Amino acid sequence: MSRPLAVFAYDFDGTLAPGNMQEHAFIPDELGMKHEDFWAEVQALAKAQRGDGILCYMHLMLAKAREKGLELSLDSWRRRGETLKLFPGVEDWFPRQNARAQALGLDLRHVIISSGNRELIEGSPIARWFERIYASAFIFDARNDAVGVALGINYTSKTQFLFRINKWTLEEWDADAINKVQAQDDRPVPFDRIVFFGDGATDIPTMRVVTDQGGHAIAVYDAQDEGRKAAARSLLNDGRAQLAGPGDYSEDGPLDQLAAALLDRMAAGVRARDAATWPG
């Protein structure tokens, strides 16, 4: 790593794409359900089982897919992800920010931290840009069919991935490296070089952690959705995010200008630390 690492981390649903990814095609087209009915059933199951809503929605996706005789292979889930609708400018965002960071002497990486489906995101048109996709995931059997839940990421468990980024210990299964003592100055990605883009309630703990540790949280909202705009205002008013912008990632738009300013700030911080001279 010849250049200092910086990370843009993103929620997915409501942040890079409007709505929930399961609602784009899987629930209405393959399950033949209204998405309101599906999520109501998830909530009822979570209450009845005193369980986690993320694990329950993953379970219901599999159970209802089996009832319908749908294909459950890893490839089939990734094919479903190919149709995910993204906010304007998202597909061009990543190379633009990478080029900007490189010009400033930074090595910018992009990471997903989402409660959505990892397999769907892996099939999306932007999957290749991510260093890691941290998202809820299925277990696959020897035939490569989904048979259970391998990983469920809820609003609090999202925060662990900030520290995985901070220490650059990225494997989800590795509970040893992430818990080893590591001096702040030895951590490859200090929090002031981490930006988290999120949109709602499941992002609140992550936003709080990143801001409390000296990083930056940006509230993204759908400008056409009054509920999403209200959620963004709440994130600001409650001190969870200091910055915000509409879900438009086009060049010279508000989010692009925010990204440019934050990358400039990160690069200036690196230069300042490099210029510091302590007495011998």
- For the chain, which residues make up each domain, given as ranges? 5-17+87-275, 22-81
34-75 tens-digit pLDDT: 999 999 999 999 999 999 999 999 999 999 999 999 999 999
Q: Are 119 and 138 in contact (CB under 8 A)?
A: yes
Q: Are 7 and 168 in contact (CB under 8 A)?
A: no
What is the β-pairing status of strands 130-140 and 146-151? antiparallel
Distance of CA 157 to the CA centre of its chain: 12
pLDDT higher than 70, residue 1: no
Q: Which residue has the higher pLDDT, 232 or 102?
A: 102
Residue 142's identity, in one-letter code, is A
DSSP bridge partners of 136: 117
In the numeric block, the tokens 């899987």 are attached to 26
Using CB atoms within 10 Å of the CB of residue 93, give its burial: 0 to 12 exposed, 13 to 18 middle, 19+ buried: buried
pLDDT of residue 219: 93
136-158 tens-digit pLDDT: 999 999 999 999 999 999 989 99
249-278 tens-digit pLDDT: 999 999 999 999 999 999 999 999 889 888
In the numeric block, the tokens 């086009």 are attached to 250
In the numeric block, the tokens 């230069």 are attached to 271
DSSP state of 26: I
Q: Where are the alpha helices (DSSP H) in the chain?
A: 35-49, 53-68, 74-81, 90-103, 118-122, 159-167, 204-212, 226-237, 254-275
Mean pLDDT of 98-124: 97
Domain 5-17+87-275 fold: Rossmann fold (3.40.50)
